[in-house]
Structure formats: structure tokens, C-alpha cells
Structure 1
């Protein structure tokens, strides 16, 4: 997960890296000198833009969760209504769903996490204890 955040930050900073290489390396190779008074404000502006955008991008703002259907339930917690041995009934946000417990059995009243679905059957896991 941390590597993913670092990669996102590097991609987000790609324009600053490209501008810095162009201004400070490539142009100077051709004898063109850009005064620091001009290049520094441009780079600072680009960095400021990233500081404003980075929290949204790194928080997963570009990876929207589905809002409807079984896909929207993945990651939520459900309460067992009918024992999952391994199949039974769970309650998710005031709705009853059929589910199957993938890692053993769960008794009535226990909480389970939704990890996927198969058709209209929720795939559930008991929390590690």
C-alpha cells in the first residue's frame, strides 16, 4: 500500500521533474540560462499545485467505490442473523442478504466482513481473533 502511495506521488510530481530537467539541465546544455528569478516561481507554483491535489489523489479520490449493488457492500460489516454454517442470512445496512462464510462458521449476532459476492450471495469472512 505504501509503495502505491509513493508511485502516485511520483506520477503526480512528473510535471515538476520534467520542468526542472528541462530548465536546469537541457537548456543549460544548449547555453541557454534561465534566471532563477523566473524558473523558481514556476517550480514553486507547480509544487503548490501538487500539495493541494496530493491529499485527494493519495486518499483514493480517483478510485471511487460503487454506490449501488453488491459491489458497494464489499468491505462493509454485516451482522449474522441466521448461523453461517457455512451459508446463512446476514443483515447489512438494514437489508437481509444470503451469505457464505469463507473461513469457518459464524454464529448469530457475530459480525463478519463482506469480501466479495457470487451472484446475489455475499462472500463473508470472520474477523481474525
Structure 2
């Protein structure tokens, strides 16, 4: 897990940590004992809430890739329709796009990876052989 993921997990668990410290440390310091029949179900309920929202926070559910436009194509594979020397035409799904090969030339029928875009021109790379 990355540092960013660990920080997200800690922030996600902050309410459980705060409630646990309050129930088990602060309140007993003032002479108030909360029964385990109350404190444990409360903490379990808070943990269940985190389990339900964790996929959206930790799994990138809130940081989804765009589904349209050239940004959505980055990382996808395209098939060369017109030789890329270095510029030509590629087919992505059922669409034809103009593209430029950044690392040499690609012949018709070869597969290239979309790594970016400049306007409506796709930036392409041949796979390393």
C-alpha cells in the first residue's frame, strides 16, 4: 500500500480512533465508565460504515478516469490503419484517429499504445520488443 493509501486509511478511521479514545480514555478519566454493551456496538457500527465507503475512498472510486474524449483513451491499445511515419491513422475501437508515433515508425496492422494527446492528435508508442 502506498503512503497515500495509508494516509487515506488513517483519515477514514479517524472517527473510530477518536470515539475509542473518548470512550476508553477520556470518559474513565472523569469517572464515567461506558459499558462494553454500548461502546463495542458503536465502534462496530462505525467500522461497518467505513467498510461500505472504503472502496470509493481507497479504490479510487472518486478518482475515476474520464469516460469520453481523448483523455479516456490513454493507456488503450490502437491498431495502425495508415503507417505511422511518424504520423498516420489508427483505429481505436470503431473510431479512426490521427496519431503520431513517439518512438519510431509503426506499420499497418501493428498495435500501439496511446500515451497522451495533443489537441485531437493521439500520442502513440510502439511496444518495446
TM-superposed deviation, 1:55: 2.6
TM-superposed deviation, 1:76: 1.6
Structure 1, unpaired ranges of 5+: none
TM-score, normalising length from structure 1? 0.84
Per the alignment, in what secondary structure is the counterpart of residue 49 of structure 2?
helix
Q: 2:118 maps to what in 1?
A: 118
TM-score, normalising length from structure 2? 0.84
TM-superposed deviation, 1:90: 0.8
Structure 2, unpaired ranges of 5+: none
TM-superposed deviation, 1:78: 0.9
Q: 1:74 maps to what in 2?
A: 74
Q: 1:14 maps to what in 2?
A: 14
Q: 1:58 maps to what in 2?
A: 58
How many residues get paired?
129
1:86 aligns with 2:79: no
How far apart, in 1, do the equivalents of 2:75 and 2:112 lie?
10
Q: CA separation of 1:127/1:6 partners in 2, compared to 1, >3 Å: closer, same or farther?
A: farther
Q: CA separation of 1:57/1:128 partners in 2, compared to 1, >3 Å: closer, same or farther?
A: farther
